[in-house]
Structure 1
Amino acid sequence: MILVPKGRVYNYFKFFLKKKNIIISEIKRQLIYTTNSFFKIIKVKSEDIYYLIKNKHANIGIIGSDVFYNNGIFRDKKISFLKMNFFKCRISLIRNKYINKKRNYLFLSTKYDNIAKKISKHNKIIKINGSNEICIKLKVSDYILDIVSTGETIKKNNLFEIYKIYDVYPILFYLREHKNVVNPIIEILK
């Protein structure tokens, strides 16, 4: 079984599989999807995938490198992982045109609090799960650290991408002890 996050990663993964002639049988509200291959797929929240893999409820997890590194999964010595190439976006620092210079420090809102702590030692970090663009508009924060794919959302909201922090790509990971079980699936996905 492969755990894949709902949303962007799942949509790109589905397209990636289709190019390999693997079709997912999707029925609305179904929890476990079958394929025309020998594995099944489950869509879950990206934050839950590590727990489910670590506790042996599934064999393979696929998540974005943003979640993988922000949540410290890469430190787990029991996990093996490899970079996949079926999509790429980026985490960037984004701001409004105007910054409140009356404050002693700036506010940065993001769901990537651990990444933010590494790049921004002098700002106040506000942990928020989504709706980052609105934080600038409501003057909750001066900056946001967020995922950027095409840049359309930030352009439509008159925001500016200051600089890219790093590229985000999918990561496939599994427990090392399951290597023999997952190898046939990995061979198909390469």
Structure 2
Amino acid sequence: MIKIGIGSGRVFDAFKQKLQFLFKSIKYSKRSMVIPFKDKSVLLCKINCWDSAFYFRNKLLDFIVMGSDIYIENELKYKCLKLLIFNCKLSLISSKNEIESNIILTKYVNTVKKHKNYNKFDIIKLNGSLETCLSLNVFKYAVDIVDTGKSIKENNLKEIKLLKPIYSLLLINKGAKKNIIINVNRLLKFFSKYELEK
């Protein structure tokens, strides 16, 4: 059985959309965290991708589907493939208010610190609700994931600069057996232009 961890939220929704034909034959609810395929060849597991190292270290999963934002931020070193599931971007966003600030709010502290343009800024880690903080007119800048940009517009904010394009990845556990790799290549044909090395 192939055990695939999939980031809950945006990643899982995009994965499900791409593989609609598979999900039609699977019985599960929105609250289901572990989803077996009908023939029990694959087990999908919703996970928090920030915990990927834990799942691989303890050999709980063979593969993990996640966004490149988390891979880069956590400086992960697993073998991986770029998937054709979703694309978005990591961007600097700002309030439209005329306030002076040398602070950037973000949960991507390591990624932002690597950019020379932001050496003079103080980086504060915040795990969510960045739009709320900017809308309260205390902070001016944040770095966050931007998809459609709808949330930014509705909160009267603006996107200033693209830091990195973000895309989906398939992480491969070093302990994955060759027969698992051969089987997962069949699955990859549906949403990737790559195959794993046999």
How large is the Cα RMSD of the aligned pairs? Answer: 1.7
1:33-112 equivalent positions in 2, closer than 5 A: 33-36=35-38, 38-73=41-76, 76=77, 79-101=78-100, 106-112=102-108
1:22–1:36 Cα contact (<8 Å) kept: no
Q: TM-score, normalised by structure 1?
A: 0.88
Q: TM-score, normalised by structure 2?
A: 0.85
| Corresponding residue number in structure 1 for 2:33 | 31
1:99 Cα offset (Å): 4.3
Residue 175 of structure 2 aligns to a residue in which SS? helix
1:140 Cα offset (Å): 4.4
| Corresponding residue number in structure 2 for 1:167 | 165
The gaps in structure 1 that reach 5 residues or longer are none
The gaps in structure 2 that reach 5 residues or longer are 190-198
- Write the letter of the residue equivalent to 1:189: L
1:28 Cα offset (Å): 4.8
| Corresponding residue number in structure 1 for 2:145 | 147
Is residue 112 of structure 2 the alignment partner of residue 116 of structure 1?
A: yes
* Residues 97-137 of structure 1, C-alpha deviations (whole Å, 9 max, x = no match): 13433x5xx11001111111112111011101111111112
Query: Aligned equivalents of 1:62 and 1:96: distance in 2?
Result: 33
Seq. identity, %:
33
| Corresponding residue number in structure 1 for 2:155 | 157
1:50 Cα offset (Å): 2.8
- Write the letter of the residue equivalent to 1:110: T
- Write the letter of the residue equivalent to 1:66: D
1:59–1:174 Cα contact (<8 Å) kept: yes
1:42 Cα offset (Å): 0.7
Query: Aligned equivalents of 2:10 and 2:107: distance in 1?
Result: 16
Residue 86 of structure 2 aligns to a residue in which SS? coil
Matched residue pairs, number? 181
Residue 85 of structure 1 aligns to a residue in which SS? strand
Residue 185 of structure 2 aligns to a residue in which SS? helix
